[in-house]
Amino acid sequence: MRLPLLLLTLAPALCAQEAKDWIQLFNGKDLTGWTPKITGYELGDNFGNTFRVENGVMKVSYDKYDNFNARFGHIFYKDKFSYYIIAAEYRFTGDQAPGGQGWALRNSGIMIHCQPPETMGKDQDFPISIEVQLLGGVGKGERTTANLCTPGTNVVIDGKLFTPHCLTSKSKTYDGDQWVRVETMVLGSGVVRHIMEGKTVLSYEMPQVGGGSVSKYIPSAKVDGKLLEEGYISLQSESHPVEFRKVELLNLVGCMDAKAKNYKKHFVKADNGSCQF
Question: In what order do the strands lie in the sheet containing 232-237?
Answer: 34-38, 73-77, 232-237, 107-114, 130-135, 147-149, 166-167
Q: Region 235-243: what's the mean pLDDT?
A: 98
Distance CA 265, CA 81 (A): 19
- What is d(CA 206, CA 217) in angstroms, rounded to the nearest whole number? 22
The 10s digit of each residue's pLDDT in 64-121 is: 999 999 999 999 999 999 999 999 999 999 999 999 999 999 999 999 999 999 999 9
Is 58 within 8 Å of 50 (Cβ atoms)? Answer: no
Residues 21-64: tens digit of each pLDDT: 999 999 999 999 999 999 999 999 999 999 999 999 999 999 99
What element of type H or E holds 14? Answer: helix 11-16
Cα angle 99, 101, 106; round to 5: 105
At 246-271, the pLDDT tens digits run 999 999 999 999 999 999 999 999 99
User: What residues pair up with 18 in beta bridges, in sequence order?
Assistant: none
pTM of the model: 0.93
Residues facing 196 on adjacent strands: 199
Summarize pLDDT for 179-227 with one digit per residue, the tens.
Answer: 999 999 999 999 999 999 999 999 999 999 999 999 999 999 999 999 9
Handedness of CA 181, 191, 168, 150 (dihedral sign): positive
Place 18 in a pLDDT band, splitting at 50, 70 and 90: low
Q: What is the pLDDT of residue 11?
A: 52
**pLDDT of 6:** 44
255 vs 20 pLDDT, higher one:
255
Burial 72-88 (b: 16+ CB within 10 A, else e): bbbbbbeeebbbbbbbb
Mean local confidence (pLDDT), 117-133: 98
DSSP character at residue 96? P
- Distance between CA atoms of 197 and 238, rounded to whole angstroms? 25
What pLDDT does residue 1 have?
44
Residue 51, C-beta contacts closer than 8 angstroms, at least 6 positions apart: 31, 34, 36, 58, 59, 60, 73, 75, 237
Tell me 265's DSSP state.
Answer: T
Q: Which domains does the chain have, with CATH numbers?
A: 21-255 (2.60.120.560)
CB 51 within 8 Å of CB 65: no
With vertex at residue 240, the alpha carbon angle to CA 237 and CA 246, rounded to the nearest 5 degrees, is 65
The model's pLDDT over 149-163, given as tens digits with 9 standing for 90+, comes to 999 999 999 999 999
